[in-house]
Amino acid sequence: MRVIQALYKYALPSTDGVRVSCGELLRDANGLVLVSFPFAFTETSEQALAWFRDHYSQFAEKNYRVVGLSVENVFTLKALREKLHLPYHLHSDANREVSRSLGILLPEVAGVRDVTDCSVLFVDRLRHIRRWTYGGGVSDFERIQRKLVKSEWVSA
């Protein structure tokens, strides 16, 4: 299955209590910023989610929708969202369908198979996908921010 088709096919449970596809999230936005992370309540995951929380207004100004994605269950993600006071929702890909289609599953991490890696994916309004990996460092997120918010790279 093509990546874009997968974004429209699979509807994932969200921390707002509804199931939504990435295609639906793109409907009224100029782009979708999808922050994937392997495990909730880990330093790397929390740092990434908090960074996008702290810079959320810059993405909103560009009409980019920010969401988080993990293979964790929606109940765990809801607790994480509340802990971090995130202005955006987290989506559970517990069945790993979207993550597999996007090519962001790691074979094994800490003895757990098939978990999402640390990536930021951007889907623009023309449905082009750009992906960056991060290791938790602020410089990684600033590089992504320069590309998206400061228009070093954006498809028309």
> pLDDT tens, position by position, for the chain (156 residues)?
466 676 777 889 999 999 998 888 888 899 999 999 999 999 999 999 999 999 999 999 999 999 999 999 999 999 999 999 999 999 999 999 889 888 898 888 888 899 999 999 998 888 888 888 887 566 788 888 888 876 544 443
Helices (H), the chain: 3-9, 22-26, 43-54, 56-61, 74-84, 97-102, 138-148
pTM attached to this predicted model: 0.89
In order of 70, 72, 147, the CA distances from 78 in angstroms are 12, 10, 29
Left, alpha or beta for 113 (phi > 0: left; psi -120 to 50: alpha)? beta
Residue 90: which residues within 8 A CB-CB, separation 6 or more? 14, 15, 49, 67, 68, 69, 70, 74, 77, 78, 80, 81
